[in-house]
Amino acid sequence: MDILNALVLFSNFVLIPGLAYGAQLALGALGVTLIYAVLRFSNFAHGDLMAFGTMATILVTWWFQSMGISFGVLPTALLALPFGIAIAAVMSLFMDRAVYSFYRKKRAAPVTFVIASVGVMFILNGVVRLIIGPDDQRFADGERFIVRARDFEAWSGLSEGLALRSTQAITLVVAILIVIALFWFLNRTRMGKAMRAYSDNEDLALLSGIDPARVVMVTWIIAAALATIAGVLYGLDKSFKPFTYFQLLLPIFAAAIVGGIGNPVGAIAGGFVIAFSEVTVTYAYKRFLGHLLPENLAPDGLVQLLSTDYKFAVSFVILVVVLLFRPTGLFRGKVI
C-alpha cells in the first residue's frame, strides 16, 4: 500500500480540480439565485451571459496584450475583467429594458419570463459566436504553475507529482473574495437590504419607499458581474468555447436547485456538490487503486464509472433526484 502517492494522485485529479470547478459553478449559481430571488424567474440566458462577459474580457485582454500591457505572473485577463463586467452589465440592462421590463409592467406570469429568457439566450449565443467564433480560445498568460509535478516529485521523493495551476489558485481566491463582498453587500448596505426586502415582499417594499427600478438595475448589474467572473475563471482554468457555456447552464441550475434556489448559501454548497459529483464519477481510479491494493488485486481496467463525455449527465441525474425527493433543496430555498 502506498497511501501518500494515492492521496497526491487523488488531490491532483479530484480534490483540486473539484474545488476550482465548484467555485466556478457556485459563482454562476449565485447569479441564477439572485435573479430568481429578486426578479422571481429562472434566467435561462445566464450561461450565455457568462459567455458574453467572458468574450468581452477576452477582447479587452487581446487589446491590452497588443499594447504590451500585462499583469506579470498573473493573467492579463484579470486586468481586463472590470471592463468585461461593465460591458456585460450594459448588455444585461439593455436586455432588461428591451425584453423583461415589458413583461414586468404587464405583471406577466413567471413562465412568460422564462420563455423570454430562452429567446435572449439564443440571441446572446448567436452574438458571441458571430463576434469571436465557435472555436476554443485560450487567453491565459503569466505563470502557469504554482507547484509543478516534477518539482514536487523531486522534493517529496514520491512517484506521483502534485501540480497546482495558477488559474486554480486564482479561482479559489477570487471566489472567496467575491462571496465575502456579496454577503457584506446584501447584509450591510442600504441597497442590499432593499433588495432583500423587495425579494421578501414586493408590495410592502414599495410601500416602504423602495425604488423598484433601482433594485432591478442593481440586481442585473450584480448578476452580470457574477456571470462574467465565473465565466472568465472557467475560461482561464480550461478554455473558452461559446457552446461549452451553453452546456454549463445545466450544472449551474442543478447547483442552484440542489442547494435551494433563492438561497445564496445553498447555491455555494450546490456548486461544490455538483462539481465533486461530476469529477468523482468521471475519474478513472485505476492508478489510485493501484497504490492502495496489493499488486495481484490491482485492476486492469480504468475503473471509471462514466466517461468525461457524459459528465453533464451527472448534473441531470442529481437534478432529477433532488426535484423528486427534496424539491426545496438542501438548504430549503428561500428569498435572500
Q: Is pLDDT above 60 for 206?
A: yes
User: DSSP secondary-structure letter at 142?
Assistant: S
**Number of CB atoms found within 10 A of residue 325's CB:** 7
Q: Is pLDDT above 90 for 262?
A: no
Residue 195 to residue 40: CA distance in whole angstroms: 12
pLDDT per residue over 177-200, tens digit each? 999 999 999 999 999 999 999 888
Give the confidence band of 335 by pLDDT, cuts at 50, 70, 90.
very low
Is the distance from CB of 322 to CB of 261 less than 8 angstroms?
no
Residue tagged 457556485 (cell numbers): 26
Residue 226 to residue 53: CA distance in whole angstroms: 10
Residue 298 to residue 256: CA distance in whole angstroms: 39
Gyration radius of the chain's alpha carbons: 21
Nearest residue to 24 (alpha-carbon basis) of 178, 181, 243: 178
Beta strands in the chain (DSSP E): 145-147, 164-165
pLDDT per residue over 79-137, tens digit each? 999 999 999 999 999 999 999 999 999 989 989 999 999 999 999 999 999 999 988 98
The pTM score is 0.94
Give the confidence band of 46 by pLDDT, cuts at 50, 70, 90.
very high
Once rounded to an integer, what is the mean pLDDT over residues 257-273? 92
Once rounded to an integer, what is the mean pLDDT over residues 315-327? 90
Please, is 141 exposed, middle or buried when counting C-beta atoms within 10 Å of its C-beta (0-12, 13-18, 19+)? middle
- CA dihedral over 69, 71, 74, 76, signed as positive or negative: negative
How far is residue 171 CA from its own chain's centroid?
10
